[in-house]
């Protein structure tokens, strides 16, 4: 009987994403020899009735770690900047969920179902793409291969879990305040999020009027697909949903692609589930995508405003495929490549 190699795993950060990484490693039966969780302070935590001793991360802690998942919430700074390359120098493979190194030319930006070829030539450091970019590209990449995307417009509806556990608590508290007739008290966001939508995710820095989240969608799409010619316009919106990002996307292709052809392409795409029967009220929703590894795609229809246009709607679990799951799949694919 062939012995399956097991690996020492480090998870840096035990917030919303780190917790889901622990769960998914177990769910997917990742070959774990030892699992070590790192954070800023030493303590004991419990995840699903299992106790873990959390250690403080130092460069030396990565000496015997095979894979290190840096599990910071989207946009979080610090850990991978300080420790990422230190871990690589100790022969540890780093997979970073933060955005510090996504556009670094040394670092592949990977969605395993879309650009697995980027895993072959590397320096031991990989970046997880932005959650909304992953969810959109799971549908767009196979369509791009089929007909060539010239341009797309995406409007996102992003859940508060993308901002971390404090945002989830804030939404719960504001719902309770509303039910009691009290005023909402925003802290994580600049305005109340309960029963509201906020047309800003991230700050404005490089392009006037364009938020950092919207820039990530454009820049990361270009890097992952290897095509800077695609014209992209996005509006990223935070909505009062606990988990599960959704996006309305309008695409213009170089070549004609019928709705039926697009549906066939998506039916055959790995990691995609087509739910598209509007006559029977069947289409992706944020609730339906939670706890699912696939990205849900529906509302497929012609977009008559442009030549060769299609419209679609996608939903994906932003903590799973948009973060923790994609990172683990990168490690799984690397193990598969090594075994060949």
pTM check: above 0.85: yes
Residue 74's pLDDT is 46
Element holding 169 (H helix, E strand): helix 165-179
Residue 267 has pLDDT above 50, yes or no: yes
The predicted model gives 140-157 an average pLDDT of 98
Q: Give the containing element (helix H, strand E) for 335.
A: helix 325-339
pLDDT > 70 fraction of the chain, expressed in percent and rounded:
97
Q: Alpha-carbon distance 281 to 261, whole Å?
A: 22
Residue 61 confidence (pLDDT) above 70: yes
pLDDT-above-90 percentage for the chain: 93
b/e burial code for range 223-261 (CB count within 10 A of at least 16 → b): bbbeeeebebebbbbbbbbebbbbbebbbbbeeebeeee
pLDDT band at 72 (very low <50, low <70, confident <90, very high): confident
Q: Which residues pair with 190 in a beta bridge?
A: none
**How far is Cα 231 from Cα 293, in angstroms, rounded to an integer?**
29
Please state the separation of Cα 23 from the chain's center in Å.
16
Mean pLDDT over residues 63-81, rounded?
80
Measured CA angle at 12 (ends 236, 114), to 5 deg: 50
Instruction: Tell me the pLDDT band of 276, cut-offs 50, 70 and 90.
Output: very high
- pLDDT classification of 2: cutoffs 50, 70, 90: low
Q: What is the pLDDT of residue 121?
A: 85
Instruction: Compute the average pLDDT of residues 258-269.
Output: 98
Residue 77 confidence (pLDDT): 57
Q: What is the pLDDT of residue 137?
A: 98
- Digit-coded pLDDT (tens) for 123-136: 999 999 999 999 99
Residue 49 contacts by C-beta under 8 Å, 6 or more apart in sequence? none
CATH code of the domain made up of 133-318:
3.30.360.10
Please determine, for residue 189, whether its predicted confidence score (pLDDT) is greater than 80.
Answer: yes
133-318 matches 7-128+323-339 in CATH topology: no
Average pLDDT, stretch 25-41?
95
Q: How far apart are CA 65 and CA 86, in angstroms?
A: 12
- Whether the pLDDT of residue 261 is over 90: the answer is yes
CA-CA distance, 8 to 165, in Å (whole number)? 27
In the three-class reduction of DSSP (H, G, I as helix; E, B as strand; rest coil), residue 293 is classed as coil
User: Which of 67, 114, 41 minimizes the C-alpha distance to 327?
Assistant: 67
**Extents of the domains making up the chain:** 7-128+323-339, 133-318
DSSP state for residue 2 in the 8-state scheme:
P
The residue among 297, 289, 281 whose CA lies nearest residue 321 is: 289
> CB under 8 Å to 333, separation ≥6 — which residues?
112, 116, 119
Q: With 90 as the cut, is the pLDDT of residue 338 above it?
A: no
Under the banding of pLDDT at 50, 70 and 90, the label for residue 75 is: very low
* Residue 40: pLDDT band with limits 50, 70, 90: confident
Inform me whether the pLDDT recorded for 3 exceeds 80. Answer: no
Enumerate the active-site residues: 131, 245
pLDDT confidence of residue 254: 98
Question: Would you state the pLDDT for residue 226?
Answer: 97
CB 162 within 8 A of CB 246: no
- Partners of residue 251 on adjacent β-strands: 152, 310
Q: Write down the pLDDT at residue 311.
A: 98
Q: Is 281 left (phi over 0), alpha (psi -120 to 50) or beta?
A: left
Average pLDDT, the chain: 95
Superfamily of domain covering 7-128+323-339: NAD(P)-binding Rossmann-like Domain (3.40.50.720)
pLDDT value for 339: 83
């Amino acid at each position: 009987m062939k012995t399956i190699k097991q690996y020492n795993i480090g998870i840096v950060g035990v917030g919303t994403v780190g917790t889901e990484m622990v769960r998914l490693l177990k769910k997917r039966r990742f070959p774990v020899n030892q699992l070590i969780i790192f954070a800023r302070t030493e303590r004991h935590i419990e995840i699903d009735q299992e106790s873990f001793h959390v250690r403080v991360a130092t460069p030396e802690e990565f000496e015997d770690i095979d894979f290190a998942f840096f599990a910071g919430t989207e946009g979080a700074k610090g850990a991978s900047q300080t420790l990422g390359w230190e871990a690589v120098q100790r022969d540890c493979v780093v997979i970073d969920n933060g955005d510090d190194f996504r556009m670094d030319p040394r670092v592949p930006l990977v969605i395993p179902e879309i650009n697995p070829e980027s895993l072959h030539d590397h320096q031991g450091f990989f970046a997880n793409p932005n959650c909304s970019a992953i969810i959109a590209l799971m549908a767009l990449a196979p369509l791009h291969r089929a007909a060539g995307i010239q341009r797309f417009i995406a409007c996102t509806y992003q859940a508060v879990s993308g901002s971390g556990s404090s945002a989830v608590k804030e939404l719960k508290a504001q719902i309770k305040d509303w039910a009691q007739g009290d005023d909402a008290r925003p802290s994580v966001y600049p305005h109340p999020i309960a029963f509201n939508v906020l047309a800003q995710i991230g700050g404005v820095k490089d392009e006037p009027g364009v938020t950092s989240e919207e820039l990530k969608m454009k820049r990361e799409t270009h890097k992952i697909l290897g095509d800077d010619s695609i014209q992209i316009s996005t509006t990223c919106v935070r909505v009062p949903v606990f988990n599960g990002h959704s996006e309305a996307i309008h695409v213009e292709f170089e070549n004609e692609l019928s709705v039926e052809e697009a549906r066939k392409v998506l039916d055959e795409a790995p990691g995609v589930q087509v739910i598209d029967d509007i006559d029977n009220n069947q289409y992706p929703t944020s609730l339906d995508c939670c706890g699912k590894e696939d990205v849900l795609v529906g509302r497929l229809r012609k977009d008559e405003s442009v030549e060769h246009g299609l419209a679609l709607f996608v939903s994906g679990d932003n903590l799973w495929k948009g973060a923790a799951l994609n990172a683990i799949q990168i490690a799984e694919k690397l193990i598969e490549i090594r075994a060949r």
